[in-house]
């Protein structure tokens, strides 16, 4: 009996220490209380399918760190597709499917890429700001995120017809390595900024965003669309016309975290849902004390989404027109897509390739 009593006391002490750790150990987040809308899951316009699994793969590199082609851009000079990889390489895809050519290296980690009409490449970099990449592969910073602890953490960019670059600054609380902390905290420190080529200066246009991610403009460039990655939604911000300065929700309560957004020639907006929502995380958002427990748990034991690929196309009213999924997990963590002709080229956070498949046509 004495032996069992000692075990019980020891267990009580261990339990008290564990509870104290889970409740009191310092963590880097100060969560904001909010209640996410319902997760639609694979219902309604998000009905389950495996249409994305039909994608063939265009390799981007063979080195272990030649992964994660985040976005794609088509060069006006040669008509080829270019992307940026986690290792800093800017690569040109081979039309026939061979290994991509490296044309520059800007250092880890570039994300968004876009070409100017004269062929100049601009890159959103996570530690160098918005870069201009020359034909010789050299690169210089032209814009950043302004005041804050992470002034060079940029994510996505859009080049307007007047030469201005609109770009997103996801967070002023965490850098790229702290993305999961930003999602737990749900602080509104994301920004949209505009770089003016005439002055060479950038200014904040929109702030208070929950991890500002992908960005594009409407066909007349009178409004912006910007993804709030950790808010499961897309916002519209009017930049011209009678509603200039207003913001509104374009689509809300998405079933995953929206990454990049690209407008195609048909006026559809292609969005990658990089990770599916997690019901436990959704519930914890309403209680900051409980959310603070999450980073105290070893990362390998925290909730993780299963491998899953998901790509959406929205029309100009924010309605889902196409819904492509891959439940097999072969094509995982979709970051977006570029629609070229009758084909879709799909990017991913985990792949060493770009997916290629026939674009769906007509209404869903």
DSSP letters for 141-204: EEE---SSS-TT----EEE-TTS-EEEEE--SS--GGGHHHHHHH----EEEEEEETTTTEEEE
pLDDT tens-digit map of 283-306: 999 999 999 999 999 988 888 888
Q: Distance between CA 114 and CA 132 in Å, rounded? A: 10
Q: Is the separation of the CB atoms in 140 and 131 below 8 Å?
A: yes
Q: Nearest-CA neighbor of 78 among 15, 135, 158?
A: 135
pLDDT at residue 65, as a whole number: 87
pLDDT tens-digit map of 72-107: 999 999 999 999 999 999 999 988 778 899 999 999
pLDDT tens-digit map of 148-204: 999 999 999 999 999 999 999 999 999 999 999 999 999 999 999 999 999 999 999
Q: Is the separation of the CB atoms in 64 and 81 below 8 Å?
A: no
**What pTM does this model have?**
0.94
Q: Residue 167 — φ and ψ, nearest 5°?
A: -145, 160
In the chain, the N- to C-terminal Cα span, in Å, equals: 70
pLDDT at residue 246, as a whole number: 97
Q: In the chain, which residue ranges form alpha helices assigned H by DSSP?
A: 2-24, 179-185, 279-284, 288-291
pLDDT at residue 195, as a whole number: 98
Q: Nearest-CA neighbor of 213 among 162, 274, 266, 263?
A: 274
pLDDT at residue 8, as a whole number: 52
Instruction: Enumerate domains of the chain plus CATH numbers.
Output: 42-358 (2.120.10.30)
pLDDT at residue 362, as a whole number: 52
pLDDT tens-digit map of 48-69: 999 999 999 999 988 888 999 9
């Amino acid at each position: 009996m004495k032996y069992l009593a000692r075990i019980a006391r020891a267990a009580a002490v261990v339990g008290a220490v564990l509870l104290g750790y889970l409740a009191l150990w310092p963590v880097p987040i100060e969560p904001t209380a909010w209640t996410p809308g319902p997760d639609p899951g694979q219902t309604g316009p998000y009905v389950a399918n495996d249409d994305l699994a039909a994608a063939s793969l265009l390799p981007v590199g063979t080195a272990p760190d030649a992964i994660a082609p985040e976005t794609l851009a088509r060069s006006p000079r040669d008509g080829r597709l270019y992307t940026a990889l986690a290792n800093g390489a800017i690569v040109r895809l081979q039309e026939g499917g061979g290994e991509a050519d490296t044309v520059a290296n800007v250092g880890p980690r570039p994300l968004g890429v876009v070409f100017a009409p004269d062929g100049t490449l601009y890159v959103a970099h996570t530690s160098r700001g918005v870069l201009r990449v020359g034909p010789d592969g050299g690169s210089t910073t032209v814009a950043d995120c302004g005041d804050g602890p992470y002034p060079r953490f940029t994510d996505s960019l859009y080049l307007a017809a007047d030469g201005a670059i609109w770009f997103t600054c996801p967070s002023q609380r965490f850098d790229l390595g702290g993305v999961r902390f930003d999602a737990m905290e749900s602080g509104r420190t994301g920004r949209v900024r505009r770089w003016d080529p005439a002055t060479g200066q950038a200014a904040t246009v929109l702030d208070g965003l929950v991890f500002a991610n992908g960005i594009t403009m409407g066909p007349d460039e009178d409004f912006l669309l910007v993804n709030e990655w950790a808010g499961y939604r897309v916002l519209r911000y009017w930049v011209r016309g009678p509603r200039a300065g207003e913001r509104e929700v374009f689509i809300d309560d998405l079933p995953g975290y929206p990454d990049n957004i690209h407008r195609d020639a048909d006026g559809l907006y292609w969005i990658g849902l990089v990770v599916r929502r997690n019901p436990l995380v959704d519930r914890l958002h309403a209680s900051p004390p409980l959310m603070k427990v999450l980073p105290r748990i070893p990362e390998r034991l925290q909730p993780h989404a299963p491998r899953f690929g998901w790509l959406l196309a929205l029309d100009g009213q924010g309605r889902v027109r196409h819904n492509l999924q891959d439940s097999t997990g072969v094509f995982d963590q979709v970051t977006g897509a570029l629609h070229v002709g009758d084909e879709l080229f799909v990017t991913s956070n985990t792949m060493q390739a770009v997916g290629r498949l026939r674009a769906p046509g007509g209404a869903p």
